[in-house]
């Protein structure tokens, strides 16, 4: 499985977070820092959705195609548990 697009996104998010750090150190205005921070959060959310989509398309669909319904239920419950942790 090729994960190069996810790696590119992670690098972009890291760059955004480094930008937040530079902005804080240089005493930029709070709204500017918050805007950059929000861009990083959006990037993480977008990456999470892409990974979830890939997992559903590859792992969960495979479980249903092989009629392994217990594995399907296990996979879906695992995703729900991860996403609902606080």
pTM, rounded to two decimals: 0.74
- Tens digits of pLDDT across the chain (86 residues): 788 999 999 999 999 999 999 999 999 999 999 999 999 999 999 999 998 888 888 876 777 777 777 877 887 888 888 888 86
| Per-residue pLDDT tens over the stretch 31-53 | 999 999 999 999 999 999 998 88
Residues 13 and 42 sit within 8 Å (Cβ to Cβ): no
| SS3 of the chain: helix, strand, coil, percent, to 5 | 85, 0, 15
Query: Kindly report the CA angle at 42 between 58 and 18, in degrees rounded to 5?
Result: 110
**Intra-chain end-to-end CA distance of the chain, in Å:** 30
């Amino acid at each position: 499985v090729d994960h190069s697009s996810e790696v590119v996104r992670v690098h972009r998010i890291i760059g955004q977070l480094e930008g937040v750090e530079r902005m804080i150190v240089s005493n930029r205005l709070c709204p500017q820092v918050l805007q950059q921070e929000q861009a990083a959060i959006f990037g993480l959310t977008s990456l999470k959705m892409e990974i979830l989509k890939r997992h559903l398309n590859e792992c969960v669909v495979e479980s249903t195609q092989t009629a392994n319904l217990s594995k399907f239920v296990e996979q879906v419950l695992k995703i729900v548990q991860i996403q609902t942790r606080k």
